């Protein structure tokens, strides 16, 4: 397949060429890159008009491999992020957040053995000057949608005026407006809808604007996200829908 050849060519021109001069034995970054590509495929979520893939990728490696790779950690993460960006672009996949690559040491792993995990994560908390207020993993891109090789910013879409109103729970009466920007829901203080409910996650769920509609996503929360009594992973919202997270009920309205 042409796509497969393109991916292999990328490894040959970038990752393998760059690292072949630095790693003579043991775990090779090219092996990590190929596994991350498979991880992306395994964790993709198919929407109505888009395919969403995780934006955070964690690679756990042995202590020996970590010590060997550590001097080149930033270069490795940049190369891997560049590959994932190109791979997603060729497949027309969508990232809902900045790409993050995390390399972590795991003393329980043997040399040459590694594990990969992925997640859909929220944007980092920003201070008054727009700078991160926490130690965040390295980020390599903005929120992007890939369509036929073009990058489309989701904020360019025509907005739909909606609102979320907490109608039951500790935060009853709280309200936030919905437009074309992403709205995060959960206990994190910087969320657009911050909740006091301890039965919700820091990022419980989030709403994005897609094809003229507001779409609710569960952020792989522990207790799940429900709409009208049904647990959801993704759902296009309709006026009057009741969103249940923890002990909190939220009404979706369209102005």
Residues spanned by the domain of 106: 25-119
Domain boundary among 98, 119, 140: 119
Domain boundary among 91, 119, 147: 119
| Structure confidence at residue 10 as a pLDDT band (50, 70, 90) | low
- Mean pLDDT (whole number) for 137-156: 43
Domain boundary among 119, 136, 151: 119
- Mean pLDDT (whole number) for 148-174: 72
pTM of the model: 0.48
The token pair at 160 is 């739909």
- Mean pLDDT (whole number) for 135-148: 44
- Mean pLDDT (whole number) for 169-198: 93
In total, how many domains does the chain have? 2
181 within some domain: yes
Choose among 186, 182, 220: nearest CA to 203: 186
Q: How many CB atoms lie within 10 A of CB 238?
A: 12
| Structure confidence at residue 45 as a pLDDT band (50, 70, 90) | confident
| Structure confidence at residue 26 as a pLDDT band (50, 70, 90) | low
CA dist., res. 10 & res. 14, Å (int): 6
């Amino acid at each position: 397949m042409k796509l497969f050849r393109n991916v292999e060519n990328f490894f040959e021109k970038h990752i393998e060429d760059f690292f072949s001069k630095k790693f003579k034995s043991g775990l090779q970054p090219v092996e990590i890159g190929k596994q991350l590509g498979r991880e992306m495929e395994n964790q993709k979520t198919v929407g109505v008009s888009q395919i969403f893939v995780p934006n955070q990728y964690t690679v756990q490696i042995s202590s020996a491999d970590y010590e060997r790779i550590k001097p080149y950690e930033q270069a490795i993460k940049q190369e891997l992020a560049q590959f994932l960006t190109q791979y997603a672009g060729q497949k027309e996949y969508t990232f809902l957040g900045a790409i993050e690559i995390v390399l972590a040491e795991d003393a329980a792993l043997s040399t040459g053995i590694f594990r990969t995990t992925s997640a859909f994560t929220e944007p980092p908390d920003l201070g008054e000057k727009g700078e991160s207020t926490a130690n965040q993993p390295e980020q390599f891109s903005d929120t992007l949608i890939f369509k036929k090789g073009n990058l489309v910013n989701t904020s360019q879409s025509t907005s739909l005026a909606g609102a979320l109103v907490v109608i039951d729970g500790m935060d009853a009466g709280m309200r936030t407006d919905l437009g074309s920007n992403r709205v995060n829901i959960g206990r994190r203080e910087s969320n657009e809808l911050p909740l006091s409910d301890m039965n919700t996650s820091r990022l419980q769920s989030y709403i994005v604007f897609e094809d003229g509609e507001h779409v609710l996503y569960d952020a792989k929360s522990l207790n799940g996200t429900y709409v009208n009594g049904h647990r959801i992973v993704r759902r296009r919202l309709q006026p009057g829908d009741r969103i249940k997270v923890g002990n909190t009920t939220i009404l979706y309205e369209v102005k």
